[in-house]
Amino acid sequence: MAKILVIEDEEAIRENILELLEAENFEGIGASNGQVGIKLAIEKIPDLILCDMMMPEVDGHGVIKALRSEPLTATIPFIFLTAKADKVDIRTGMELGADDYITKPCTPQELLKAIAIRLEKQKTISRQSQKTLDELRTNISMSLPHELRTPLNAILGFSELILSEYQVLEESDILEMIGQIQTSGHRLYRLIQNFLLYAELEIAATNPELLKEMRNSEFSCVKSLLSQKARQQAKHANRTDDLQLNLQDSSVAIDSVRLAKIVEELLDNAFKFSLEGTPVLLSTFVENQTFILSVKDQGRGMTTDQIAQLEAYRQFDRKLYQQAGLGLGLAIVQRLVELHGGEFKIESLPQQETIVCVSLPV
């Protein structure tokens, strides 16, 4: 049974609406003014709110401002009921977060139809949110244990073999195993660092002092840093011949560590999802006091839907391509750019070309 809060200072109208709701198998809750309505909304958490506009002390605009600023009530469907319905009031109500606007007097059918539409829309949103949450849980539960266990197993397995069989093993075999241990250790270290970094960025997003500190940072000599970092990434991916650089020097409003991280993740992604022998181009230039960095590859690419669904711990076609990683790379880049007051954009034609573009203040 859906719970509906009716905030209306005229008792006769309020009681009529509550009777109608009861007859239609809704649970109706009445509030005689805006202040009482705000309190009841937070206490009862209704499925929908019907609110009069013209009320003493706290009017409809005051009610919706208060409820939209409260996390518990911020997403509850909200319908204004009012005799005042000029365009300015309607626009103001919608800008404050109202879902609908019904002019009094209205017929019971009009009111019930508006309620039904908003409740159904909220159900759809809830289902989609639950689906996204379930997918996120699945992605984390599938990828995190596997991605941590795989390099750890290699480290433990090879080290145990060396310890137990070192007397009979060839030196070349031991060196090869040590190399595998080091590679696995680096992979495990990077996974953990990315996991911690993303958590740190999520905390920073809600901390005004940290945000201010991040946006006040600055770094010059961009060309030298990016050139060095790009060559390191290409060497690590065995794609030195595929790397192309077109770099313009500049200063940028981000520190060197975070800028290097952006390039590391973008190039790692480009090399991972494109074939050896195809070019990967890193470019930078300055336009209208904005530093623009882009990475272009000719790899697998992303669909429009995949770009729209980009988020942490999400990997697309993971089973199909047997890819490694936690799906944090692009999410970290996007968060870093946003927190520094920049923009992040992806343009892609699947199986043809992908361009990831980052814009940051100079």
pLDDT tens digits for 158-176?
Answer: 999 999 988 888 899 999 9
Which fold does the domain 212-361 belong to in CATH?
A: Heat Shock Protein 90 (3.30.565)
Phi/psi at 360 (5° precision): -135, 150
Predicted confidence at residue 229, as pLDDT, reads 95
pLDDT value for 160: 92
* Measured distance CA(241)–CA(278) in Å, rounded: 9
Higher pLDDT, 243 or 125: 243
Q: What's the half-sphere exposure (Cβ side, CA atoms, 13 Å) at 32?
A: 2
Q: Which amino acid is at 219?
A: F
Percent of the chain residues topping a pLDDT of 70: 89
Phi, psi of 246 (to 5 degrees): -140, 80
Return the structure tokens found at 87. 């365009």
What CATH superfamily is the domain 3-106?
A: Response regulator (3.40.50.2300)
Delimiting residues of CATH 1.10.287 domain(s) in the chain: 139-204
What is the DSSP-derived secondary structure letter of residue 215? H
Pinpoint the residues of the chain covered by CATH 3.30.565.10: 212-361
Please state which architecture CATH assigns to domain 139-204. Orthogonal Bundle (1.10)
Asked whether the beta carbons of 219 and 259 are under 8 A apart, the reply is yes
Task: Give residue 143's pLDDT band: very low, low, confident or very high (50, 70, 90).
Answer: low
Please check the confidence at residue 326 and state whether its pLDDT lies above 70. no
User: pLDDT-derived band of residue 135, with 50, 70 and 90 as boundaries?
Assistant: low
pTM of the model: 0.55
Q: How many CB atoms lie within 10 A of CB 72?
A: 11
Q: What is the pLDDT of residue 238?
A: 94
**Which CA distances in Å does 71 have to 20, 131, 358?**
30, 21, 32
